[in-house]
Amino acid sequence: MLTRRTLFGAGLSLFGASLLAAQAAPLPARAGQAMPEAGPIAFATWTDDEPLYLFYPGDKLEIDFPAAPELNRITQVGPDGRVTLGLIGQVMAAYKSVPQLQADIRQAYAGTLRDPQVTVFPGETAPMRVLVGGEVKTPGWVDMNGGDMDALQAVMAAGGFTYTAKKRDVVLIRRGHDGQAMRRIIDLQNPLSGKAGDLVALRRFDIIYVPITGIGEADNIVQQWINGLIPGGILNYFAYKTFTN
């Protein structure tokens, strides 16, 4: 059964291999040894600067080669973030701006074409949405309805907070200019209490994670270690003795 943690973990895959590449690859474990844990993600410094448009999986684009029109094509960014081009195969397109992708394609064709000039035109884009996970009632993807949505609206669209939600420490993760993830903590308790607060306007494919309170962690321990581990027959026996005495 999918949980809030697994849904949120699956959504992090949108940041792709570029986040993981910055981490040192762990050495393979020897026989009888535990596999070492991966290091933490190094988040970039947060900035509100508006970046150039970045391509995402599902976006359509047109690639034009003025000197080699036989290579022209209309294609789509695949789930792995790549596009397939003639003669050279696949090129990573996801999380790149138009100038960055054009430069990468020119470099890829440098050994094949004498003058690899290329122009990339963005086409139809994938749905505008964000991922909301953690202590919300219906975690998962939330459509941005045209792109105008703030963090609190996204949480409400995901069913609202659970009673164990830590509303003052909501985590927002966003991809920055260089493709590295940025992280910011948002206090959504103040707006809910009628006080001034920074709701933060969201961008496409932002990730919002609502952590659990200390009380919520204690409740989880009760569920896992008491209700989960004590056999049902014993619980039924105690219930029978309680109501028959």
d(CA 200, CA 190): 13
pLDDT of residue 150: 92
Q: How much is the pLDDT for 166?
A: 93
Closest CA relative to residue 8, chosen from 163, 186, 177, 142: 142
Alpha helix segments (H runs only) across the chain: 4-11, 16-20, 98-108, 151-157, 189-192, 214-222, 232-244
78 Cα distance to chain centroid:
16
CATH of domain 57-125: 3.30.1950.10
In percent, the amount of the chain with pLDDT more than 90 equals 40
Domain definitions of the chain by residue range: 4-14+127-212, 57-125
Q: In 3-state terms, what secondary structure has residue 110?
A: coil
- Residue 59, Cα to own-chain centre: how many angstroms? 17
> Is the pTM of the predicted complex or chain greater than 0.75?
no
What are the tokens at 9? 């973990």
pLDDT at 75: 94
CB 128 within 8 A of CB 143: yes
Contact 96, 162 (CB under 8 A): no
> What is residue 204's predicted lDDT score, i.e. its pLDDT?
84
pLDDT score recorded for residue 127:
79
Below-50 pLDDT ranges, the chain = 1-28, 233-235, 237-244
Is CATH 3.40.50.720 the classification given to domain 4-14+127-212?
A: no
At 53 the pLDDT is: 80
Q: What is the largest CA-CA distance in the chain?
A: 92
pLDDT at 211: 92
**What pairs with residue 112 in β-bridges?**
none
Helix H or strand E encompassing 1? none
What is residue 2's predicted lDDT score, i.e. its pLDDT? 44
3-class secondary structure, 187: coil
Position 64 scores a pLDDT of 95
